[in-house]
Structure 1
Amino acid sequence: MRPKLMKEFEALREKNVMDIKKAKTEGKRVVGMYCLYSPAEIAVAAGAIPVTLCGTRQDPIPAAEKVLPRNLCPLIKSSYGFAATDTCPYFHFADLLIAETTCDGKKKMYELLAEFKPMQILQLPQKQDGVEAADYWYTEVKKLKNRLEAEFAVTITDHDLRDAISLLNDERRCLKELQDMCQLKPSPISGMDLLTVLFLRGFCSDKREAISMVDNLILELKDMVSHGLSPFTAKTPRILLAGVPVGLGSHKVVQIVEDCGGSVVGFESCGAYKAAFDQVDVVKEPLQAIAEKYLRTPCSCMSPNQGRFELVVRMVDEFKIDGIIDLTWQACHTYNVESFSLKKYIQEKKQTPFLQIETDYSESDVEQLKVRIEAFLEMIR
Structure 2
Amino acid sequence: MELIKELPDVFEEFAEQRQQSFLGIKELKDKGVPIVGTFCTYFPQEIAMAMGAATVSLCSTSDETIPAAEKDLPKNLCPLIKSSYGFAATKKCPFFYFSDLVVGETTCDGKKKMYEYLSQFKDVFTMELPNRQTEDGLQLWKNEIIRFKEYLEQKFEVTITEEQIRDAVRVQNEGRVALKRLYELMKLDPAPMKGQDLFKVLYGSTFKPDRSKIPAEVNAIADKIEKEYAEGKMEEKKPRILVTGCPIGGATEKVIKAIEDNGGIVVTFENCSGAKSIDKLVDEDTDDIYQAIAERYLSIGCSVMTPNPNRLELLGRLMDEYQVDGVVEMILQACHTYNVESLGIRRFVNEEKGKPYISVETDYSQADIGQLNTRIAAFIEML
Fold shared, TM-score > 0.5 on shorter chain? yes
Counterpart residue number, 1:74: 79
Distance 2:302 2:195 in 1: 22
Counterpart residue number, 1:181: 185
Whether the aligned pair in 2 keeps the contact of 1:49 and 1:205 (CA below 8 Å) is yes
Residue 49 (1) aligns with residue 54 (2)? yes
Distance 2:280 2:31 in 1: 34
Counterpart residue number, 1:166: 170
Residue 142 (1) aligns with residue 146 (2)? yes
Distance 1:140 1:13 in 2: 29
Counterpart residue number, 1:218: 222
1:34 to 31, 36, 39: 39
Question: Once the 2 structures are TM-superposed, how far is the Cα of residue 153 of structure 1 from its aligned partner?
Answer: 0.9
Counterpart residue number, 1:246: 248
One-letter amino acid matched to 1:281: D
Residue 301 (1) aligns with residue 304 (2)? yes
Counterpart residue number, 2:267: 265
Counterpart residue number, 1:335: 338
Residue 315 (1) aligns with residue 306 (2)? no
One-letter amino acid matched to 1:200: G
CA-to-aligned-CA distance 1:49-102 (integer Å, 9 cap, x gap): 111114111111111111111111011011111111111111111111110111
Distance 2:83 2:178 in 1: 29
Residue 110 (1) aligns with residue 115 (2)? yes
Q: Give the secondary-structure state (helix, strand or coil) at the position aligned to 1:250.
A: helix
One-letter amino acid matched to 2:25: I
Distance 1:14 1:327 in 2: 25
Whether the aligned pair in 2 keeps the contact of 1:97 and 1:117 (CA below 8 Å) is yes
Residue 325 (1) aligns with residue 328 (2)? yes
Counterpart residue number, 2:64: 59
Distance 1:197 1:288 in 2: 30
Whether the aligned pair in 1 keeps the contact of 2:186 and 2:267 (CA below 8 Å) is yes
Alpha-carbon RMSD across the aligned residues, in angstroms, is 1.3
Q: Which runs of 5+ in 1 are unaligned?
A: none
One-letter amino acid matched to 1:136: L
Number of residues of Structure 1 aligned to a counterpart in Structure 2: 377
Whether the aligned pair in 1 keeps the contact of 2:327 and 2:349 (CA below 8 Å) is no
Q: Give the secondary-structure state (helix, strand or coil) at the position aligned to 2:323.
A: coil
Distance 2:219 2:370 in 1: 37
Whether the aligned pair in 1 keeps the contact of 2:29 and 2:98 (CA below 8 Å) is yes
Question: Once the 2 structures are TM-superposed, how far is the Cα of residue 13 of structure 1 from its aligned partner?
Answer: 4.0
One-letter amino acid matched to 1:326: E
Counterpart residue number, 1:372: 375
Distance 1:58 1:85 in 2: 13
Residue 233 (1) aligns with residue 236 (2)? yes
Question: Once the 2 structures are TM-superposed, how far is the Cα of residue 2 of structure 1 from its aligned partner?
Answer: 5.2
Distance 1:221 1:3 in 2: 11
CA-to-aligned-CA distance 1:337-366 (integer Å, 9 cap, x gap): 111011112223211110011111111111
Distance 2:15 2:374 in 1: 30
Question: Once the 2 structures are TM-superposed, how far is the Cα of residue 200 of structure 1 from its aligned partner?
Answer: 1.7
Q: Give the secondary-structure state (helix, strand or coil) at the position aligned to 1:343.
A: helix
CA-to-aligned-CA distance 1:191-220 (integer Å, 9 cap, x gap): 211221122221112112233211111111
Taking the TM superposition and a 5 Å limit, the aligned residue runs for 1:85-96 are 85-96=90-101
Q: Give the secondary-structure state (helix, strand or coil) at the position aligned to 1:249.
A: helix
Distance 1:212 1:86 in 2: 34
Task: Mark the CA change 1:139 to 1:13 in structure 2 (over 3 Å): closer, same or farther.
Answer: closer
Distance 1:36 1:13 in 2: 17
One-letter amino acid matched to 1:362: S
Identity value in percent: 45
Counterpart residue number, 1:288: 291
Distance 2:330 2:364 in 1: 12
Q: Give the secondary-structure state (helix, strand or coil) at the position aligned to 2:244.
A: strand
The runs of 4+ residues in structure 1 deviating greater than 3 Å are 1-4
Counterpart residue number, 2:3: none
Q: Give the secondary-structure state (helix, strand or coil) at the position aligned to 2:251.
A: coil
Question: Once the 2 structures are TM-superposed, how far is the Cα of residue 14 of structure 1 from its aligned partner?
Answer: 3.7
